[in-house]
Amino acid sequence: MDRLAAKGVGFRALHQGGMDTTSSEGRLMLNILASFADLEADIHEERQADVNTGTGAGWSDPPN
């Protein structure tokens, strides 16, 4: 986004409550949403790693 902003390009979502990266509030919202997306991806990777090693609370064999 920084490279695009340096070239004077902005993002404006017309149907999403007026998200506009040319304003400071719009850039803040985009960064918050990106941070949540990163968090979700990290949590997913951690859970998958736990399941793959058998240390997580993922799928397990049914009790006998």
Dist CA 53 CA 55 (whole Å): 6
Indicate the pTM of the whole model.
0.62
Encoded tokens for 58: 């993922």
Dist CA 36 CA 42 (whole Å): 10
- In this prediction, residue 57 has a pLDDT band, given cuts at 50, 70 and 90, of low
Q: What is the dihedral of CA 11, 36, 38, 13, to 10 degrees?
A: -10
- In this prediction, residue 9 has a pLDDT band, given cuts at 50, 70 and 90, of confident
pLDDT over 60 at 51, yes or no: yes
3-state secondary structure of 44: helix
Of 34-38, 39-43, 60-64, least confident by mean pLDDT is 60-64
